[in-house]
Structure 1
Amino acid sequence: MQRLPIRSLAGLAAIGLLALTGCGTDTGAAGTGPAAAGGADRTIRAHKLMRLTEVHPETGMTLLEGPVLDADGGLLVVDVTAPAGAPKVLRVDVRRKTSRPVHTDDRGAYTSAQFSPHDGRVYLTDFSHGEIVSLAPDGGDPRTFFSGAVDGAPMNPDDLAFDRDGNLYVSDSRGLSEGEAKGRVVRIDRDGRNATVLADGLAAPNGISFDTEYRGLWVSELTENRVSYLLLDGEGGVSSRHTALRVDGGIAQTDSIAVDADGNVYQALHGRPAMVVYDRHGERLATVEVPARDAEGLTSATNVAITPGGTRAYMTVSGPAGGYLYAFDAPAEGIRQSNGG
């Protein structure tokens, strides 16, 4: 596996990243559920489910990402910094709190995972090598779906989203290591033959998710702590683009994004084991946090999977203490846009 600089790996994933007794909301000074509905920020306390990984001596890190629930309710999670031979994709039984490896190789640095609505395979973004890899649902039959330059420049694919027909929309975090706004959003046809740039000049785009109507894309820009909204034209292009959210993250930066059935946007934070929740109009509704006693040794909450049709949510959290799954009750039900990516 090509060794990325630690700074770049830490800012992946999305740089390019889960029986729930005890989960729920904190109704203390931060606010209550009804108050949150009126726009007040409340705190949702996540509950530690299990530790999945430890820091790898070979890379000096572990970084969990891409939680996605399969058709049987198993949770797939990727470990971005796993070395060659170590599990790079794990399947978690969230009821039994057990896990097992389902895929490894000698080179990939996978920053996201999502099932395709077209062929049912799980797709992974390889940030290091600019590739999209697909696996059978059980983790076998690895295939390179897409590789190579797009408009003359190689990709650093971080997260991905599928439209209803199975076409891929990828956040390309070009320019991250140089600190330049060279990032792009790339559309790849579901057969992997045609790739086009939908938007460029983005500041290390990381999270990407459709809204509930598939009219547009929410895209987080890591080095500017903002979320852009790209309105699609219905013909494979973008008709407009604007800054939709400015995230006051302090030392933390905007990582992956998810969207629930009510259209709420879940913005994960790199640099803090937390995520913030906004409604579609930009009102900050809640902050999902791990208990204060757990926060030491955890530096990022990279992504979330919300159970389709339910509110049980699983958040990937990592740091020097290891890679963990935390669980909480989401404000609204999960859909495809809040299950992987």
Structure 2
Amino acid sequence: MRMFRHTLLSALLVSSAGFANGAPPSLSYQSGIEGPAPIPPSEQSLQSVTAEPWFKVSDDGLQLEGPAFDSNGNLYFVEVFGGRIFKLTPDKELTTILGENDLAPAGLAIHQDGRLYIAGLGNFQDTGSVVSIRPDGTDMQTVVGPEQGYLPDDLVFDDQGGFYFTDFRGTSTEKTGGVYYVSPDQSEVTPILPNMAIANGVALGPKGKFLWTTEFSAGRLHRVGMSDATTIAPFGTSVTYQFTGPAPDSIRTDQDGNVYVAMYGQGRILAFNGNGMPIGQILLPGREKGHNLRSTSMAFRPGTNELLIFTNDWDKGEGSQIFRAEGFAEGTALYANQP
């Protein structure tokens, strides 16, 4: 025992002498971990491509969301904090169809009758709603009113003309949000996946067999097998992925069943196969220097695998842009958009 104490004391003295005579071991920034949004080690080996600039919406850092194509190739999208709804033609002519308002729109989908359905966060506390308008911005009608207590953030139609929407309520420790279904006649709202920490993106896989949703404040990707529009299949729910860092936003799917998740705060899109396993990523230019990190959403050009990705640079000077890349397969048809 005496010899052990002597050996330990000697080691401590040597260690102390080492610190006294020079710098202690230190961490350093190495390649791949610089900047505010380094790729997590578990995702660094994924197949990666860098998107290219396609269209600059504004020199200002507008929070762009909810892109959706109509049957004529027009691209509609929203601006959250100002409330505006934009239309971009196939010739890249940008117009505003709905001016500034208090909707705080965060999601948009197009019904088979051509009306635009808009999920709005209102005052982000208690005035959220879903409304519909004509493609020219007129004839606004309330579908889900603020008195119902939701904060609708995103929505997707099924092949019956009903739609799912996410409820953006809650915090990382207060799971008061969820996913809900509005019947085709809009008479009933049914809870599908309650108790979520800010439900955000929502999408349907091919043939509507699986519902996908992201949990913004808990950083999770949910895969939900559906028996019908409002019934979860037995043992049909799973959390297929736990994200690192901020924060999973909107979702799109392709016809091979792959799922694409916009990573808000990271300037990239993560791609998963139909089982929720990561298989690739699309990076936005400038992300390594802290630009274009607010990647919010994306849309497949109908009939193609071309993916248009929406982001903004907030206060860092590069404005609001749409980038372009190609996914693994042709985008899934947005059911009620189809004639």
Runs of 4+, deviation exceeding 4 Å: 337-340
Match of 1:202 in 2: 196
Match of 2:163 in 1: 168
**Post-superposition CA distance 1:55-86 (Å, at most 9, x none):** 3xxxxx62000111111111111011116xxx
- Letter of the 1:328 partner, please give it: A
**Aligned partner of 2:208 among 197, 214, 230:** 214
**Aligned partner of 2:150 among 155, 170, 176:** 155
Match of 1:146 in 2: 144
- Letter of the 1:260 partner, please give it: D
- Letter of the 2:62 partner, please give it: T
Q: Is contact 2:308–2:325 with CA below 8 Å preserved after alignment?
A: yes
Larger RCO: Structure 1 or Structure 2 (Cα < 8 Å, ≥ 6 residues apart)?
1
Change (3 A) 1:143 1:294: farther
227-236 vs 255-264, greater mean Cα deviation: 227-236
| Cα distance in 2, alignment partners of residues 179 and 156 from structure 1 | 18
- Letter of the 2:197 partner, please give it: A
Q: Is contact 2:216–2:247 with CA below 8 Å preserved after alignment?
A: yes
Match of 2:320 in 1: 323
SS of the residue 1:335 aligns to:
coil
**Post-superposition CA distance 1:194-225 (Å, at most 9, x none):** 11212211121101111112122111101111
Match of 1:79 in 2: 79
Q: Is contact 1:258–1:337 with CA below 8 Å preserved after alignment?
A: no
User: TM-score scaled to structure 2, two decimals?
Assistant: 0.78
Q: Is contact 2:82–2:100 with CA below 8 Å preserved after alignment?
A: no
- Letter of the 1:45 partner, please give it: T
- Letter of the 1:49 partner, please give it: W
Q: Is contact 1:260–1:337 with CA below 8 Å preserved after alignment?
A: no
Match of 1:92 in 2: 88
| Cα distance in 1, alignment partners of residues 109 and 193 from structure 2 | 22
Aligned ranges for residues 182-261 of structure 1 at < 5 Å?
Answer: 182-234=176-228, 236-239=230-233, 240-249=235-244, 251-261=245-255
| Cα distance in 2, alignment partners of residues 339 and 326 from structure 1 | 26
Q: Is contact 1:51–1:323 with CA below 8 Å preserved after alignment?
A: yes
Q: Is contact 1:258–1:339 with CA below 8 Å preserved after alignment?
A: no
- Letter of the 1:216 partner, please give it: F
SS of the residue 2:217 aligns to:
helix
| Cα distance in 2, alignment partners of residues 323 and 89 from structure 1 | 14
Aligned ranges for residues 17-166 of structure 1 at < 5 Å?
Answer: 41-55=46-60, 62-82=62-82, 88-94=84-90, 96-117=91-112, 119-128=113-122, 129-150=127-148, 154-166=149-161
Change (3 A) 1:180 1:46: same
- Letter of the 2:51 partner, please give it: A
Q: Is contact 1:68–1:339 with CA below 8 Å preserved after alignment?
A: no
Deviation at 1:294, TM superposition (A): 8.4
SS of the residue 1:213 aligns to:
helix
Q: Is contact 1:228–1:241 with CA below 8 Å preserved after alignment?
A: no
Q: Is contact 2:157–2:335 with CA below 8 Å preserved after alignment?
A: no
**Aligned partner of 1:291 among 285, 289, 299:** 285
Change (3 A) 1:318 1:269: same
| Cα distance in 2, alignment partners of residues 180 and 275 from structure 1 | 27
By percentage of residues, which structure has more helix?
Answer: 2
Change (3 A) 1:92 1:290: same
Deviation at 1:48, TM superposition (A): 0.8
Q: Is contact 2:163–2:182 with CA below 8 Å preserved after alignment?
A: yes
Q: Is contact 1:132–1:144 with CA below 8 Å preserved after alignment?
A: yes
Match of 2:24 in 1: none
- Letter of the 2:297 partner, please give it: N
